[in-house]
Amino acid sequence: MNGTLLIVFKLLGSIALLMYGMKVMSEALQKMAGPQLRHVLGAMTTNRFTGVLTGMLVCVAVQSSAATTVMTVSFVNAALLTLAQAISVIMGANIGTTLSAWIMSAGFSFNIANLVWPVFLLAIFLIQFKKHRYLGDFLFGLSFLFFALGTLNATGRELDLAHNEQVVNFFASFDSGSYLTILLFLLIGAILTCIAQSSAALMAITMVLCSTGVLNIYQGIALVMGENIGTTLTANLAAMSANTQARRAALAHLVFNVFGVCWVLCVFYPFVRTACRIVGVDADASVQAPERLTFVLATFHTMFNVTNTLILIWFIPQIEKLVTKLIPQKAADDEFRLQFIQSGIMKTPEISVFQAQKETEVFAERMRRMFGMVEELTGTTDADKFNELKDRIAKYEQISDNMENEIGKYLGQISNAHLSDDTKQRIRAMLREISELESIGDSCYNLARTLDRRRSQEVTFTEAQDKGLAEIYGRLGHCLDQMVLVLKDEGSAGDSERLEGELNGCRDRLRFDNIRAVDLHEYSYASGTIYMDLVAECEKCGDYVINVVEAKTE
């Protein structure tokens, strides 16, 4: 009994090591090529065919279809990719992820234990010397992956399930020639994948069961088909808290795999026999070489996704219309809801930083819009409209506080992961950016409060004051516009510094003119005080703007 328990723990521990190894590999590859992968996704999706190729190459590179899907969804949200292009990328990612099955089948078929230890040693050296530490991280994860596969293979042999009469009789009680059995194993595979939230882990378990002779090839492939559906259900559950486009992309992934499973079920037995013949296995033989069955699973997995893509690539517009109809755009989405940060779907730290950057750009655009409301409030004479605008500005100020907190909390969660030095620096810069953006919101709210004080005290401005206020408003507006461009990497810090210098010069000139006008009794001291409060607040807001630009460009 104790021996069996130990073997079970070794099996579970090996699966945990497998998942950890794949996670380390994926994150290391993203650190090495994250920004370049984003550029590739944006540049190589000009049509459905290049989209599929791009998704395949990116998924092979990062060894994670989840990471590829996350990047794709982020580009859909940013309007850099259409939903149709995103669907083609997801199709390609499904093909790319089959490489994992081939890696695992190789690990089950060959004795790679002797290769693991020198690779571990090399990885540790690379990590310690830091210059090539991301390559070291990748080799470290790869070593864990192969070590886990070797342990799984050995543990499967220790279990000796093929000679366990109860286990053999249990699986033999299912008629593999019956579609009911295939559907049952398909359902089991989908449910277990949802529970484990890792199709790779279930693929490894399936390979263990097949390589030990417990499962026949039909039952094993039925589990693999279920895993294909289960992994999309996981993505859909994660996307429930996301925005409309993210949920549509996740649903398109589900539609793709469910359709594939449906047509494969119609030709299930001939399709499986074809996969077996490619590997040189007789699917219906009473005695089979169990170690070759892992290659049959990998071959089927590849054939399934490649054939499914070849069929559905011609129907991408129809899939887009279907998911759009199933998930319609809400008539009135919350105007202030975070657009890019979706905590449920973000699983890749390096790419999550890109999401946070896009959200910071939205933050900046909202602060520019908030200042536009201040400009409108300044010229409003109608009491009802004034109060409506004032309340709206107050709401924006609350939203600026919420955005700073949410983005800051999100960046804090990302920073807990193992990140590259450049990414850590980027997070520090973004934390400063959002702090200064929130200060811009406070400044705009202070302007609105000062205007409300002017109204309550019934203070009127002269034509010269109105002209001066319009001038400094205009200069601050230009500063804010340039700040938004800089955050989008479309503007220069030099232009921002020039505009901020002109804003400071305007403040000094208006202050001098105000002192002279009050001395000459052109308007009252109270009018001059409120006027200067507005001018000074505009200059202070300009300082916050240049701080944002400096944080971005440092």
CATH of the domain at 549: 1.20.58.220
What is the number of domains present in the chain?
2
Asked whether residue 332 carries a pLDDT value surpassing 50, the answer given is no
Q: Which residues of 37-67 are buried (b: 16+ CB within 10 A; e: fewer)?
A: bbebbeebbeebebbbbbbbbbbbbbbbbbb
What pLDDT is recorded for position 373? Answer: 94
Least confident of 22-36, 210-224, 378-392: 22-36
Cα three-residue angle 100-101-105, rounded to 5 degrees: 120
Residues 6+ positions from 129 with CB-CB distance below 8 Å:
none
> Residues 116, 244: one domain?
yes
> Is 333 domain-assigned?
no
What pLDDT is recorded for position 502? Answer: 93
Give the pLDDT confidence of 542-551 residue by residue, as tens digits.
Answer: 999 999 999 9
Residue with tokens 């499962």: 215
> Is 310 domain-assigned?
yes
What pLDDT is recorded for position 204? Answer: 75
What pLDDT is recorded for position 447? Answer: 95
> Is 340 domain-assigned?
no
Q: What is the mean pLDDT of residues 86-108?
A: 77
> DSSP readout, 461-515?
--HHHHHHHHHHHHHHHHHHHHHHHHHTT-S-HHHHHHHHHHHHHHHHHHHHHHH
> Residues 290, 419: one domain?
no
Nearest residue to 145 (alpha-carbon basis) of 18, 24, 25: 18
Task: With cut-offs at 50, 70 and 90, classify the pLDDT of residue 90.
Answer: confident
> Residues 517, 395: one domain?
yes
> Residues 158, 220: one domain?
yes
> Residues 314, 377: one domain?
no
Task: With cut-offs at 50, 70 and 90, classify the pLDDT of residue 219.
Answer: confident
Greater confidence (499 vs 284) lies with 499
> Residues 281, 354: one domain?
no
Greater confidence (538 vs 334) lies with 538
Asked whether residue 500 carries a pLDDT value surpassing 80, the answer given is yes
For residue 230, what are the domain limits?
A: 2-326
Tell me the one-letter amino acid at 420. S
What pLDDT is recorded for position 368? Answer: 93
Asked whether residue 356 carries a pLDDT value surpassing 80, the answer given is yes
Residue 87, CB half-sphere, CA atoms under 13 Å: how many? 27
Greater confidence (112 vs 429) lies with 429
Long-range contacts of 161-170 (CB under 8 A, 24+ apart): 161/209, 161/212, 161/213, 161/214, 162/212, 162/213, 162/214, 162/290, 167/214, 168/214
Among 266, 294, 326, residue at a domain's last position: 326
What pLDDT is recorded for position 344? Answer: 46
> Residues 298, 412: one domain?
no
Greater confidence (47 vs 461) lies with 461
d(CA 481, CA 542): 12
What pLDDT is recorded for position 37? Answer: 56
**Tokens in use for 15?**
């699966």
d(CA 73, CA 529): 51
**Tokens in use for 393?**
């500005």
Residues 6+ positions from 53 with CB-CB distance below 8 Å:
44, 92
What pLDDT is recorded for position 333? Answer: 42
Greater confidence (283 vs 531) lies with 531
Number of neighbouring beta carbons within 10 Å of residue 421: 10
- Do 549 and 483 contact (CB within 8 A), yes or no? yes
d(CA 195, CA 177): 28
d(CA 227, CA 220): 11
Asked whether residue 428 carries a pLDDT value surpassing 50, the answer given is yes
Q: What is the mean pLDDT of residues 248-253?
A: 83
- Do 146 and 117 contact (CB within 8 A), yes or no? no
Q: What is the mean pLDDT of residues 174-181?
A: 78
Give the pLDDT confidence of 132-144 residue by residue, as tens digits.
Answer: 777 788 788 777 7
Asked whether residue 532 carries a pLDDT value surpassing 80, the answer given is yes
Rounded to a whole number, what is the distance in angstroms from the first to the last CA of the chain? Answer: 63
Task: With cut-offs at 50, 70 and 90, classify the pLDDT of residue 439.
Answer: very high
Least confident of 36-40, 225-229, 253-257, 393-397: 36-40
Asked whether residue 345 carries a pLDDT value surpassing 70, the answer given is no
> Is 332 domain-assigned?
no
Among 326, 360, 392, residue at a domain's last position: 326
Backbone φ and ψ of 150, nearest 5°: -65, -40
pTM for the structure as a whole: 0.63
CA-to-CA dists, residue 483 to 281, 303, 431, 499, 505, angstroms: 64, 50, 16, 10, 19
Please, what is the angle between helix 83-96 and helix 290-312, to 10°? 160
d(CA 143, CA 28): 13
- Do 170 and 26 contact (CB within 8 A), yes or no? no
> Residues 295, 383: one domain?
no
Share of the chain above pLDDT 90, in %: 26
> Is 30 domain-assigned?
yes
> DSSP readout, 333-374?
--TTS-SS--TTT---HHHHHHHHHHHHHHHHHHHHHHHHHH
Nearest residue to 363 (alpha-carbon basis) of 242, 484, 492: 484
Task: With cut-offs at 50, 70 and 90, classify the pLDDT of residue 503.
Answer: very high
Among 265, 294, 326, residue at a domain's last position: 326
> Is 343 domain-assigned?
no
> Residues 277, 420: one domain?
no
- Do 296 and 279 contact (CB within 8 A), yes or no? yes
Tell me the one-letter amino acid at 447. L
> Residues 159, 288: one domain?
yes
> Residues 302, 361: one domain?
no
d(CA 328, CA 161): 50
Please, what is the angle between helix 217-238 and helix 268-279, to 10°? 110
Give the pLDDT confidence of 137-165 residue by residue, as tens digits.
Answer: 878 877 777 777 777 667 766 665 555 66
> Is 336 domain-assigned?
no
**Tokens in use for 485?**
């461009």
What pLDDT is recorded for position 490? Answer: 87
Asked whether residue 350 carries a pLDDT value surpassing 70, the answer given is no
Q: What is the mean pLDDT of residues 10-32?
A: 73
**Tokens in use for 283?**
């699917």
CA-to-CA dists, residue 520 to 254, 293, 314, 524, angstroms: 76, 97, 78, 10
Neighbour-count burial of 89, counting CB atoms closer than 10 A to its CB (0-12 exposed, 13-18 middle, 19+ buried): buried
d(CA 41, CA 96): 14
What pLDDT is recorded for position 114? Answer: 65
> Is 341 domain-assigned?
no
Asked whether residue 431 carries a pLDDT value surpassing 70, the answer given is yes
**Range from 79-88, 105-114, 153-162, 353-362 that averages highest in pLDDT:** 353-362
- H or E segment to which residue 259 belongs: helix 244-266
> Residues 378, 498: one domain?
yes
**Range from 196-210, 277-291, 333-347, 464-478 that averages highest in pLDDT:** 464-478
Is the CA virtual torsion 482, 486, 491, 495 positive or negative? positive
